[in-house]
Structure 1
Amino acid sequence: MVSFGPYYHGLPELGIAEEFKHKVLALFVSSSGKDKQFFYCQIFKVVDQIRNCYVGVSRDAYDDGALAEMMLLDACFAIYLMKIALDDEEKSFHFCQHLGMAVMTFAFQDMYLLDNQIPLWVIKLLTNLIYGNREEGPKLICKFSSYFVFADSRLTRRIPGEDKKQPLHLLDAFHRLLVEELDNAGKELVEDLDNAGIELVEEVDNAGKELVEEVDIAVNKCQWWPGRKEYRNEFWKYNRQSHSVTDLKAKGIHFKPSSFCLKNIKFKSYTFYGQLQLPVWLFTTHSKQLFMHMIAYEASPESDTDSTILCYVCFLKSLVIKSEDVKELREKKILFSTSDSDEQLVKVIKEIDTCGLDDDHTFYDVKMRIEKHCSSKANTWIAELIHIYFRSPWTLIALSAATFLLCLTFLQTY
C-alpha cells in the first residue's frame, strides 16, 4: 500500500498513499514552525549518501532533487506511522479519515519489507529537524521497535549494539531485537552472553580436536568407506531424524520457555528426563512475512548478520508437524497466537519460505544432545514408563492396584 524508497516509487496502485504523504508532510511542517524548504534543503545536503545506500538508482531515473523530495516524504510518513503505533489518537484519526482503518494494517507491514526500506539515519535526521531534540529520534525508533517486536515498551533508549554500529534500516533494528538477549528492561545481558560465548568456544574447540583426531585416523587407515564397520556409526551425525514435539515428549523431554531471544535454545539431559528450553514468540498475521524478509536479509550479500532467524525457523519447522505439537507448546507458554486454531498455526509455520536454505550451525550442539538423549534406550524406557503409566492419576492407580494384586498372588502362592 505504501512505498518507502525508490524501488516501488511511482507504481500506479500506490498512488493513493503517495498523495496522502504530502498531507502528512504539511501536518508536520505546520506543527514545527518551519517551512518545507528548510527540511528539503537539509535532506538535499546528504542526498549523495542516500543514493549510495541503493543499487541501480541512476540519476536518469531520479535526479538529486527528486530523490531528496522522495526521502523527505517517505521519512516523514514513517515517523507518522510510528506515532500512530504509539497511541497518537489524533494522527490515528487523521489516517483513518483519509485512507481508512483497513489500510493501516498493511501500511505497518510495508515498513519491514526488505526491498521497501529507507536508511534509518534519515529518519533520525528528520526527527531532529522536526522536534529540535537529538534524543527524540532514537527514543521514537526504540519505542516503536519495542512495541512492534515485544508488544510492550521495555526498550526506551537505544537499539542493541547501536553504540558500535547503527542499524541500516527498520528491518535491521527488528532483527537485532530478536537475536540479542535482553532483560525485561530492554538491557543487554552482557555477562550471560559472555559466559555463553566462552562455553561455545570451548565446545567448538573440543569438537575441533575430536574432528582432527578422527580425520587423522581416517588418513592413517588410507581408506574411508561407509561400508567399513568402524565408520558405520559415524553416519548418525549426518542422518539425524527430525523429532516433533510429541515425539520428544514421548522420549521424556519436557519443554520450558527461555526468553524472547530467538537464539536462546538450550537442552539439558538428566537421568530420567530431558529439558528443552525454547524462546517465546507471538504469531500474528504478519509473522510469516516478517520471518521471510528477515531470512532474505540474512542471506543478502552485504549483510553482516548471522543466520539466527533462519536457524530458528528451520528448528521450529522440525518441531511443529501437527496440531498436537502446537497444543503442547501453547500449554507450556512458549508459542502464542492471535489465531484460535492450532491447525492454522501449523499451516503458517509450514508456509514460512526459507528459500531452500538450511543452516545447522547455530543449534548444532543442541540437536546433537537431543539425538544422544533420544538414542539412549534407558532414557527411552523410563520415559515410556512415565508417559504411559504416570500421565494421569487413574493410570497410576491402575498400576498400583495391579502391582498390589500381583504381590497378593505371590503371597497366596507362598
Structure 2
Amino acid sequence: MNPSYSVDIDIPNLLRILRKIHKVPPLIRREDRSSGAYDPKVASLGPYHHGKPELQPCEEAKRLALQIFLKGHNHGQEFFQEKVFEVISEARDYYIEGSTDEYTNEEFAEMMLLDSCFLISLIYPSTVNLLEPQRHLDYVPLLLLLGSLAYSSILGHDVFLMENQIPFKILMLLITLRYENGRDSMSKFLQMTAWDKFDEQLHEDIKQRLEDSSPVHLLEALRTILVWEKPQASPLQIAERTARNYTDEKGNVDFLKHEKTFRSAKDLKAKGIFFRPSSSKSFKAINFNSFAFYGKLELPPTYVSGFSKAVFANLIAYEICPNHSFDWSVICYVNFMKKLIDSPADVKELREKRILLTPLTDEDVVRLYKDLNTFEMVTADNDIYEKQKIQQHYDSKTKTWMAQLFYIYFSSPWTVVAWIVGVFVLILTVLQTYFTINPKSDSGR
C-alpha cells in the first residue's frame, strides 16, 4: 500500500512570502492605452528606473531632501543609514531577482535612504497643520528647486507607479524614527490621495489597517485604503464565485450570462434606479436595494483628477501581477464604473449626486474611464456588486412602467404642478359635463 501524504499549505502566508515589488508585465506595456502611465516623469524611486538620464536632474533634489530630513534631529546621516543597512538584505528581497545585483550593500542602502527621505520630505509637509507655517519653511527650498509642476507630478504620478516603489517597511522605519507623528502623516497622506480630504473618524482604523496588512509598498498601501472595508475572500471562494457567474443552472459554461447586463447610469435612471453616495468610501461599498417601484444604488464617493488614470492603471497592473492574492477589487470597481459611464450625461448624473468628485470636465472623465484597460479579466465582480439584482430590477416591466410614469409627471416641481392642474381641470370638465347632461331640478316647482 502506498503511503498517503497530507500537506497543509498556509496560502495567505505563502502569498506574503512571494509578494514582490514587481515590474509591469510586458503584455500590459504593449497594450498601454494610458500614454506612459507606468514610467516616472520626474523622479526614480528604487532600482528599476535608477540612473535614467531624463531623471537625473532630480538627484540634486534628493540630496537637498536628505539635508532637510536631518535638520533639527539629534542624529546625523550615519545613524539613519545604519538603520537602513540593518534591513538591507530584506529590502533587496522585495525586488525581483537580479535587479539589485549591480549595487553593493552600501550603495543600495544609500539609494534607499536618499529615495525614502526624498519621498518623506514630500509627504510630511503635505500633512502637517497649515496654520503652523514655521513647520513648512524648512521644505520651501525643496519646492523651489523642484518647481510646482514637478512637485505635483511626483506626488500625483511618480510615487504611485508599480515599478517606482520603496519597501513600505523602510518608509515607515525612517518616518517614525524622524517624526513622532510619522504614522499619522502617512495615514493622512494616503487619505488625501484617495479622497482629496482627511477623515478624522477613519484615521485610527486606517492606521491599524495599514499596520495589520503590512503592505509591500506605497501603491499597495493606497489600495488598502481604497478597498479596506471588507476582508479578502479566499482563493477558493473567488473561484467558486467566478464559476457561478459563468455557468447556467445545469452547470454548463455560459459566457453570455456574464454579458447580459445593464449599460449606463442614464439607462439605469430611466428604469427608476436612483444613485446615492454610500457612507463608506471603500470601492467595495457598492450596495443595491430594489423596492416596489424604484431601486437605490449606493456608490462610494470617488475623487477623480488628471493623475487618476495613471494611479488606476498601476493598481490594475498590480492586481494582475503574479503572486497576487486573487483579490481583484480595483479591477471589479473599474469594470463597474466603465459600464456606468458611457457619455457625459452619465458623468453629470454621478457628479450631481456627489459620487464623482472631480475638477475635470465630463468629457475628460468619460475619456479617462474608457482609456483604462482591465484586459478582460475574468473576475467575480457580478457577485461582488450584486449585478444580478440590478439586472432583475432593470428587466422588470412593472418597475419600468412606474419609472417612466414618474419621469414624465414627477421629474420636477413644475411637472408635478402641471399634473395637478391637469387633473383638476379634468375633474372640473367631468363635473361640468355631468351637470350639463343632468341639470339640477328647481326645488321650488
Task: Show the counterpart of 1:189.
Answer: none
| Paired residues of 1:251 and 1:379 also in contact (CA < 8 A) | yes
* Alignment match, 1:349: 369
Considering Cα pairs closer than 8 Å and 6+ residues apart, tell me whether 1 or 2 has the greater RCO. 2
Seen in structure 2, the aligned counterparts of structure 1 residues 36 and 300 have a Cα distance that, compared at 3 Å, is same
Distance 1:159 1:413 in 2: 80
**When the two structures are aligned, how many residues end up with a matched partner?**
374
1:163 Cα deviation (Å)?
Answer: 4.5
Which of the numbers 31, 34, 40 marks the counterpart of 2:72? Answer: 31
Q: For 1:14 and 1:312, how far apart are their aligned partners in 2?
A: 33
Would you say the 8 A contact 2:68–2:121 is kept in 1? Answer: no
Instruction: State the shift of 1:305 in Å.
Output: 6.0
Structure 2 partner of 1:142: 187
Q: CA offset at residue 245 of structure 1?
A: 1.1
Q: Deviations over 1:190-226 (max 9, x none)?
A: xxx69x99xxx9xx89x97xx89x43xx7xxxxx89x
Sort the Cα spacing of 1:356 and 1:399 in 2 relative to 1 into closer, same or farther, 3 A: same
TM-score by structure 2 length? 0.76
**Residue in 2 aligned with 1:185?**
none
Q: Is the 8 A contact 2:65 2:142 kept in 1?
A: no
Q: Distance in 2 between the 1:319 and 1:413 partners?
A: 56
TM-score normalised by L of structure 1 = 0.81
Spell out, residue by residue over 1:368-409, the C-alpha distance to the aligned partner (whole angstroms, 9 max, x if none). 111111111111111111111222344344444555565535
Q: How does 1:304-315 map to 2 (within 5 A)?
A: 304=325, 306-315=327-336
Task: Report what 1:175 is aligned to.
Answer: 223
CA-CA distance at 1:19 after TM superposition: 1.9
1:47 aligns with 2:93: no
Q: How many Å apart are 1:153 and its aligned residue?
A: 4.9
Seen in structure 2, the aligned counterparts of structure 1 residues 314 and 365 have a Cα distance that, compared at 3 Å, is closer
Root mean square deviation, CA, Å: 2.9
Is this contact kept in 2: 1:159–1:177, CA < 8 A? no
Q: Deviations over 1:108-150 (max 9, x none)?
A: 121111110111111122234434x5xx432231222122223
Match of 2:33 in 1: none
- Residue matched to 2:356: 335
Counterpart among 308, 313, 317 of residue 287 in structure 1? 308
Q: Whole-Å Cα distance in 2 between the matches of residues 106 and 178 of structure 1? A: 21
Question: Where do residues 80-229 of structure 1 align in structure 2 (5 Å cutoff)?
Answer: 80-87=121-128, 88-108=135-155, 109-131=157-179, 133=180, 136-150=181-195, 151-154=197-200, 156-157=203-204, 158-181=206-229, 214-215=249-250
Give, in whole Å, the separation in 2 of the partners of 1:30 and 1:271. 65
Instruction: Give the secondary structure class of the aligned counterpart of 1:116.
Output: coil
Match of 2:295 in 1: 274
**Corresponding residue of 2:398:** 378
Q: Deviations over 1:262-290 (max 9, x none)?
A: 11111111111111111111111211111
What is the CA distance between 1:53 and its match in structure 2?
Answer: 0.4
Q: 1:44 touches 1:68 (CA, 8 Å); kept in 2?
A: yes
* TM-aligned CA distance change 1:15 to 1:328, over 3 Å: same
The structure-2 alpha-carbon separation of the partners of 1:283 and 1:16, relative to structure 1 and needing over 3 Å to count, comes to same
Q: Identify if the C-alpha distance between structure 1 residues 378 and 66 changes in structure 2 by more than 3 Å, giving closer, same or farther.
A: same
Alignment match of 2:388 (pick from 368, 375, 378) = 368
C-alpha separation in 2, matches of 1:413 and 1:249: 46
Q: Which letter maps to 1:241?
A: T
Distance apart, 1:355 and its partner CA = 3.2
User: Take 1:161 and 1:179, find their aligned partners in 2: how far apart are those partners?
Assistant: 11
Tell me if structure 2 keeps the 8 A contact 1:311–1:358: no
- Unpaired stretches in structure 2, ≥5 consecutive residues: 1-41, 129-134, 439-445
